[in-house]
Chains A and B, each alone.
Chain A
Amino acid sequence: MAQAMDWRAIDAHPQFQELHRRKSRFLWTLMIFSVIYYFLLPIGAAYFTDIFRIKVWGPVNVGILFALSEFIVAWAIAFIYARVASREFDPMADRILRQADSMRSAK
C-alpha cells in the first residue's frame, strides 16, 4: 500500500486551496439556485395561481411551461456542472495528485 501522505501539507498547498475555493463557490451557487428555482414551483402554484393560468400556446399555460422548465433547468445544471468539473476541477485535482506524489517521494 502507499506510504503515508502528508495530508496537512496538501491541504495547505495553494493549488489545493485554489481548487477548494473555486469548487465551493461554484457548487453552492448552483445548489442554492436550483433549490430556489425548484421551490418557486409549489409556491407559484399555491400563491400565484392567476399567473399560472395564463394561456400562452393554445391550452398550454404558464404553469405547464414552468413545470417543464424545471426539467430543462435541472438538466442544464447537470450539464454545466459536468462540463466545468471535467474541464476545470479534474485537471486541477490531477495536478495536485502528481505534486503529492512528488512530495512523497522527495521525503
Chain B
Amino acid sequence: MKHTRLVVCAIGAALGALSLNAYAIFKGGAVPERFGWLAVVVFAAIIALTMYVTYLAAKRVKSTQEFYAAGRSVSGLQNGWAIAGDYLSAASFLGIAGLISLYGYDGFMYSVGWLVAYITVLLVIAEPCRNIGKYTLGDILAFRNDPKTAKTMAAISTITVSTFYLTAQMVGGGVLVKTLIGIDYEISVIAVGVLMLAYVVFGGMVATTYVQIIKAILLVTASILLVIFTWAPYGFSLPGFLEAVVGDAKVQAQVAKLLGDAAANMTPQELGQRFLEPGLYLKNPIDQISLGMALVLGTAGMPHILMRFFTVPSAQQARVSVIWAMAIIGGFYVLTLFIGNGSAINVGAAQITAIDKGGNMAGPLLAQFIGGGAESLLGNLFLAFVAAVAFATIVAVVAGLVLASASAMSHDIWVGVIKGEHATQEEEVRAARISALIVGAAAILIGIAAKGQNVAHLVALAFAVAASSNLPCVLLTLYWKRCNTGGIVLGMLVGAFSAIALVMVSPNMTYPKIERAKAEKAIEGVTPKIAKLEADLAAAPDEASRAKLDGDLTKARKELTAAQDTIKKFEGQETSMVGLEKPLIELRNPGLYSIPLGFLCVIIGSLLWRDRRSDEMWDELYVRQNTGIHAEQATAH
C-alpha cells in the first residue's frame, strides 16, 4: 500500500473533476441550474473532508484488526454516532420526512419501529456479541457450531441481506442524486460506488467509521437547523405549530384528496385535524405488525450493524454506543415530525409530489423555502447542503454494507473455509481489499442494471431476511443450550428462503394483468373527462378560466398517455416473475410468517442433529458472553 497516498489523491481529483463536469450537465434537478455551482462547492467540500479522513486512516490500516474492526479503539460515543450514521439511510432521512409531509400521523408512526429495534440490540445482542465475536457474524455463529459450516452459512446470509439492502441504496441513491442536482443516473451510481470503494479499500473500518460519524453529525446539524427555523415562528409551541398544520389550506386539500368521497361532508378544520390522525397511509394493520416484527428483530441481525460492536474496546463500550445511538436516532425521528409537517405547510404536498411522487423531496424543499425560496442564494445554499448530506448518507451506508460483505467473503469464506484459518495478516487484509473491490464493482453493476426498477420493498425484505435467518441463529446460539450446527443450517436456509419466497408471491411484485386492468379503468375514467374539458374550453368565457381549463386538460391528457403506455408495456404478458396472475398472499411484509418459521427451524434442526462440539462449548460460550473473560482486546496505539 505504498501508493495509497497517490491513489487517494487521484480519486479525489477525479471526483473533483467529475463534479465540475457535473456542473456542465446539470439539467433540471431540484437545485436551479444557475445555482448549480453552489451544489458543486458544497459537494466538493464534503467529499474533500471524507477523502482526507480516508487518507489518514489508510496510513493506520495494516492489520486485520484495523481493517475489520478499527483496532477496537472506537469509543462508545463515537460508535454511537457511527451506528446512527450506518442506520439513518436516505430512506429514513428523506423518506420518513416525506411520508409525514404527505400522510401526517402515519408517517410519524412508521418511524417508531426503527428506534424500538435498538432495544433488542441493546438488551440481548450487543454485549454478548462483543464478548464472544471477533470480526463477523460468522465468528459469532462459529463459536460453538461447526466453524466451516457456520461461517459458510453466515457469509451467504450476510451477502444476501447486504445485496438486497445495497441494491435499494444504489438505485434509490442514483434516482435521488438525479432528482436533487440533475446528474445522470449512471454517473451518480458510479460516483457513489467509486467514492465508497475509496473509503473501504484504503481505509477499511477506520475510514468507514469516521465517514459515518461525519455524515451523522452533518445530518443531525442540518435537521436541527431546519427544525429551529421551521418551529421558531410558532414560539416553539407544539400545539401552536400543529394548530398551523390543521389550519393550513394545502394540508386540508391533501387530506381531501387522500380521502376522496369520504371527505365530502367534512369542514376544512376537520380535514386538517384528520392529518394528525392515523389511517391515511397505512391501511393494513397486520402488514404493519409484520413490518414491525421485521424491524424490531431484523436490525439486530443486520451484519453491518453487528460489525460495529467489534470496533469498541469492551462490552461496556458496546452498551454505551447503543445508548448513544438510540439517543441520536430517536432524537432524529422526533425532528422529522417537524420537518415533515413543516414541509406540508410551507411547501405543500402538491409541490413535493410534483418533483418526486414518494415525497423524498420534502426535506430538501423545506430547506430551500427556509433560506428564502427557489430564487434566493441562501435558499439554494441550504438545499445544496441538504442534498450533499443526502449524497454523503448514501455513500456512507453503502460503504458499511460493502465492508460487511467483503469481510464475510475474505474472513469467513477465504480464510475460514478455504485456507482453514491459515493466512497471514497481510494476506488477509489484501484478500479483504480485493473482496471489497469485487463487491463494490458488483454493486455498481447492479445499480446500473436495476435502473428504473421498483426497489423500495428491498429494504423491508433485507430486514425480513435478517430477522428470519440471522437473528434466530444468533439468539439461540447465545441463549439456548441445545442449539447446534443442524439448527443453524436449517434455520438460516428456511428463514431466508421463506422470507424471499413470500415476497415473490406478495403484492410487491408487478402483476401485468392487474396493472393493465388498472390502466384500462383509468382510461375509462379520464376519457369522458377530457371530452368534457374540451367542451368547456371551447365555451370558456374569459382568459383566466381558459388558462385553468387548459392546465386541467394537459394533466388529464398526461394521465391518458401514462395509462396507454402501461398497457403497451405489459402487452402480451400475463403473469408476474414467478408466473402468477395475482398475488397469493395479501401481506407485503413476510415477517409475520417467516420469523416464527426461522425460529422453529433452528429448534427443529437442533433437536434432530447431534453435535458434541456445540454441547461442549456451551459452558464456555455462556460464561464468556456474560463476563467478557477472554474477549478480544484492543490494539494499543
Contacts and interface: CB of A to CB of B under 8 A. Distances in A.
B143 interface: no
A31 B243 contact: no
A27 to B, nearest CB: 5
A54 to B, nearest CB: 10
A102 to B, nearest CB: 13
Given A23-B626, A60-B238, A74 B115 contact: yes
A42 B119 contact: no
A41 B113 CA distance: 10
A14 B412 CA distance: 37
A66 to B, nearest CB: 9
Interface string A6-29: 011011000010011001000100
B62 to A, nearest CB: 22
Given A34-B119, A46-B285, A81-B122, A58 B278 contact: no
B411 to A, nearest CB: 20
Interface string A39-54: 1011101110100110
A22 to B, nearest CB: 11
B319 A70 contact: no
Contact of A78 (B239, B326, B630): B326
A7 B630 contact: no
B268 to A, nearest CB: 13
B267 to A, nearest CB: 14
A7 B109 contact: no
- Residue of A42, A52, A74 most packed against chain B (CB within 10 A): A42
Given A64-B105, A100-B629, A31 B119 contact: yes
Contacts of A67: 105, 108-109, 112
Contacts of A70: 112, 115-116
- Residue of B122, B273, B285, B316 most packed against chain A (CB within 10 A): B122
Interface in A49-103: 49, 52-53, 55, 57-61, 63-64, 67-68, 70-71, 74-75, 77-79, 81-82, 85-86, 90, 93, 96-97, 100
A5 B629 contact: yes
B319 to A, nearest CB: 6
A77 B323 contact: no
Nearest to A70: B112
Contacts of B624: 7
B276 A63 contact: yes
A57 B237 CA distance: 11
A38 B330 contact: no
Interface residues of A, number: 52
Nearest to A38: B116
A57 B239 contact: yes
A80 to B, nearest CB: 11
A11 B239 contact: no
Interface string B265-297: 000000011001111001001001100100010
Contact of B278 (A46, A78, A81): A46
Interface of A: 2, 5, 7-8, 10-11, 16, 19-20, 23, 27, 30-31, 34-35, 38-39, 41-43, 45-47, 49, 52-53, 55, 57-61, 63-64, 67-68, 70-71, 74-75, 77-79, 81-82, 85-86, 90, 93, 96-97, 100
19 contacts: A10-B623, A16-B623, A16-B626, A16-B627, A20-B622, A30-B119, A31-B119, A31-B124, A34-B119, A42-B282, A46-B279, A49-B279, A53-B277, A58-B239, A59-B239, A61-B276, A68-B334, A71-B112, A74-B330
Given A39-B292, A46-B288, A57-B239, 11 more contacts: A5-B620, A30-B119, A31-B119, A35-B296, A38-B292, A39-B289, A41-B112, A67-B112, A74-B119, A74-B326, A79-B323
